[in-house]
Structure 1
Amino acid sequence: MAVKRTKKPLSKRRRTPVTAVVPDAGPGLHPGKQSLLPNIHSSDVPDPLSVLKSLTPSGAETTSTTSSLLTIKSSKAVARKKSSLATAQLIRRYHTLNKELSKCLARIESNNSKSTSGLRQGAIQSQQQTATDLARIAEIRQEMDDLGGLDMYQKASTLGQSKQRGGDSSKWLIPILENCHPQLDKKAGPALRLLDIGALSPHNYQKYSSWIRTTPIDLNPQDPLITKMDFLEMPVPAQKGDLFDVVCLSLVVNFVGDPTQRGEILRHSARFLVPGTGILYLVLPLPCIQNSRYMDHELLVEMMDSLSYSTLVSHHFAKKLAYYAFKLDITPKDRRNQPKKSNQPLFPKKLRHDKPNRNK
């Protein structure tokens, strides 16, 4: 009859002392001999960290080392988040100051015209308002200087379009151009001519240089390859062959504080494009379209139609940006030489969405 052997409880099992292989420490120890660490003379015992490393499998890390690496990675992530937040705050603040500056300048110009043609009481009020605006302009410009001025704003914007922050917004445009020009020979054919207004980098389209030839311009270039130019002062091409196939206005229109100048930038862009095939690439902050009291997608499309951009080729709403591609009509509707029927603007400021937390 077989007797079933029972296992001893874990608490009663004999435990074998853990031994460590101690390297050759001189004539007192035989090479390769195993010994219990307590029986070794203190002068012959290696550093505890060295013993721990010798018992750690190759490629593994100690708990303390792993913890340190995680701490470093976490610190870097926090630093990147803080840097991104600081960049966004600087850009937003500079935008706000720039818009307020434009409003002050517009009021001063309006008050000057009133003071020369209005009544005495109105002239006094205009002068008082002008004095207030001038004082505020000085404060605004001082704060802009404290932020680093336009140069620092441009650097922050350049950092914002880095690969670590999501890359530049030109990537969305490439498939649009490929669909609009299916017969384009990317290797041997003539390249598309692209005017990049407010360019932060001259290399945004470098990957496609075999079929896109870029002319980057900006008020305050951050690269010597970008031409210093005010787009509103840029001469219109005299020859049809000098017109552009693409005009890019990526986060440019929203930077301008004066609404009249914003409209003029859009109108001026049509004079640089090839009629019938020219593409206007327009990028705006998403809140300008979806969180405004006075603007939305439908109104923007209607406004662009009045400027001869009757075909909305494509549009896309991302997490923070609104992308638009408009095609220019064959016959642009240039209103410069048309008589004005009244002093009222074509699209007067009108409340469209009266909801809490909407911007202006």
Structure 2
Amino acid sequence: MALTPTGAETTSSTSSLLTIKSSKSVSRKKSSMATAQLIRRYHTLNKELSQCLARIDQCSNNGAGEAKNETGYHRHKQGGAGQRYSAQQKANDLARIAAIRQEMDDLGGLDMYQKASTLGQSKQRGGDSSKWLIPVIESCHPQLDKKAGNSLRLLDIGALSPHNYQKYSSWIKVTPIDLNPQDPLITKMDFLEMPIPTSKDELFDVVCLSLVVNFVGDPIQRGEILRHSVRFLVPGTGLLYLVLPLPCIDNSRYMDHELLVEMMAALGYTTLVSHHLAKKLAYYAFRLDSVFPGDKDSSRKGSNKKGANQLMFPKKMRHDKPNRNNFCIVLA
């Protein structure tokens, strides 16, 4: 016989069952911790890799100034520091790049990172973040006839599963894309290389960037992804669903809620439809009320009216306090 925490006697079989449940709970906790550690480490390595590659790009004299980090997204020359970058510094960066890529391979590479992320959005760990978006979409389309069939078009960038919106398939038609799909139903695609719609019928009603922007290591590329999203949405009604880790918003030296809203307004996302700061994530839904003047026509060709070295929102210290992270978004 055994005693429960309340002092009551239990049979040995009941005691064994409690032990098994306790062991499973501990196992899940350890698994969850290991998954989180892998994701955090991969993020850190990818950011450092982007920084090393950016420095090499800056000093390049070949004029190309473009390469790809492990996310697959392009990085462009930012100019300015080429003269101060010595041969020894370049050699150090090249050695560090090799070491980073080796560690990434040892972790299982992008494929293992995405498998860990897929596990992280399982129902046992809270589910995927799409469930927050559905009520927002419904509030923006109160007259929508859900029985009409695939009324709204949704582009899911960095999709971990093609089934996140399956429950709503009668009124949402999803196009899931990812650099390294974990499911054959997800299209292998670099968002920045995705063909820009040439007609209104090809535009989307919703574009989802859930934990995508923060994964890109280069701040300028983060801004370019946000700018690029404008080219895929229906002006006036299109929604951008943006999810970031909460520390990117409430614990950064260079970013906060107010700055993010200001940046998005500059791109044409002048209405913050809804936002929610949860325990670990920050959820945002912006409406594309108008296309940024500098992007209205030229953006669909990948350019803007500002000079190459003139930034709308440069990296600028906002919260000079200890124990804060360096997450930022630079908008050119």
Pick the TM interval, shorter chain: 0.7 to 0.9
Q: Using the alignment, how far apart are the partners of 2:168 and 2:84 within structure 1?
A: 59
C-alpha contact (below 8 Å) 2:294/2:305 kept by paired residues: no
Q: Using the alignment, how far apart are the partners of 2:161 and 2:30 within structure 1?
A: 24
Q: Which has the higher contact order (CA 8 A, sep 6+)?
A: 2
Q: What's the counterpart of residue 202 of structure 2?
A: 242
Q: What's the counterpart of residue 323 of structure 2?
A: 357
C-alpha contact (below 8 Å) 1:114/1:126 kept by paired residues: no
The CA deviation string for residues 4-33 of structure 1, in whole angstroms up to 9 with x for no partner, is xxxxxxxxxxxxxxxxxxxxxxxxxxxxxx
What letter is aligned with 1:217? I
Shift of 1:126: 2.5
Shift of 1:155: 0.2
Shift of 1:351: 1.3
Q: What's the counterpart of residue 312 of structure 2?
A: 346
What letter is aligned with 1:99? K
Of all paired residues, the percent bearing the same amino acid is 80
1:150 aligned counterpart, secondary structure: helix
What letter is aligned with 1:79? S
TM-score (ref. length: structure 1): 0.79
Q: Using the alignment, how far apart are the partners of 1:189 and 1:74 within structure 2?
A: 46
1:210 aligned counterpart, secondary structure: coil
Which of these two proteins has the greater Rg computed from alpha carbons? 1
Shift of 1:338: 4.3
C-alpha contact (below 8 Å) 2:267/2:291 kept by paired residues: no
C-alpha contact (below 8 Å) 1:256/1:262 kept by paired residues: yes
C-alpha contact (below 8 Å) 2:269/2:290 kept by paired residues: no
The CA deviation string for residues 213-269 of structure 1, in whole angstroms up to 9 with x for no partner, is 000000000000000000000010111111000000000000000111111100000
2:286 aligned counterpart, secondary structure: strand
Cα 1:248–1:125 change in 2 (3 A) is closer
Cα 1:322–1:266 change in 2 (3 A) is same
C-alpha contact (below 8 Å) 2:150/2:173 kept by paired residues: no
Cα 1:204–1:293 change in 2 (3 A) is same
C-alpha contact (below 8 Å) 1:245/1:279 kept by paired residues: yes
Q: Which runs of 5+ in 2 are unaligned?
A: 2-8, 64-81, 327-332
Shift of 1:341: 5.2
Q: What's the counterpart of residue 80 of structure 1?
A: 28
Q: What's the counterpart of residue 216 of structure 2?
A: 256
Q: What's the counterpart of residue 327 of structure 1?
A: 287
* Higher deviation after alignment, 141-150 or 325-334: 325-334
C-alpha contact (below 8 Å) 1:288/1:295 kept by paired residues: yes
1:213 aligned counterpart, secondary structure: strand
Q: Using the alignment, how far apart are the partners of 1:83 and 1:202 within structure 2?
A: 24
Q: Using the alignment, how far apart are the partners of 2:15 and 2:113 within structure 1?
A: 38
Cα 1:125–1:158 change in 2 (3 A) is closer
Q: What's the counterpart of residue 268 of structure 1?
A: 228
Q: Using the alignment, how far apart are the partners of 1:123 and 1:272 within structure 2?
A: 39
Question: Which of residues 54, 57, 79 in structure 2 aligns to 1:109?
Answer: 57
Shift of 1:357: 1.1
C-alpha contact (below 8 Å) 1:97/1:144 kept by paired residues: yes
Shift of 1:114: 10
TM-score (ref. length: structure 2): 0.85
RMSD, aligned CA: 2.0
Cα 1:331–1:148 change in 2 (3 A) is closer
The CA deviation string for residues 321-353 of structure 1, in whole angstroms up to 9 with x for no partner, is 000000002344344454335724211211111
Q: What's the counterpart of residue 100 of structure 1?
A: 48
Shift of 1:95: 0.3
Q: What's the counterpart of residue 243 of structure 2?
A: 283
Shift of 1:113: 4.0
Q: Using the alignment, how far apart are the partners of 1:215 and 1:94 within structure 2?
A: 26
2:60 aligned counterpart, secondary structure: helix
* 2:167 counterpart of 1:212: no
Q: Using the alignment, how far apart are the partners of 1:354 and 1:230 within structure 2?
A: 35
Q: What's the counterpart of residue 23 of structure 1?
A: none
Q: Using the alignment, how far apart are the partners of 1:333 and 1:225 within structure 2?
A: 36
Q: What's the counterpart of residue 15 of structure 1?
A: none
1:215 aligned counterpart, secondary structure: strand
Shift of 1:128: 1.6
C-alpha contact (below 8 Å) 1:306/1:333 kept by paired residues: no
Cα 1:332–1:84 change in 2 (3 A) is same
Q: Using the alignment, how far apart are the partners of 1:125 and 1:216 within structure 2?
A: 41
Q: Which runs of 5+ in 1 are unaligned?
A: 1-51, 53-60, 116-121
Q: Using the alignment, how far apart are the partners of 1:169 and 1:213 within structure 2?
A: 18
Cα 1:191–1:177 change in 2 (3 A) is same
The CA deviation string for residues 33-57 of structure 1, in whole angstroms up to 9 with x for no partner, is xxxxxxxxxxxxxxxxxxx9xxxxx
Q: Using the alignment, how far apart are the partners of 1:249 and 1:334 within structure 2?
A: 23
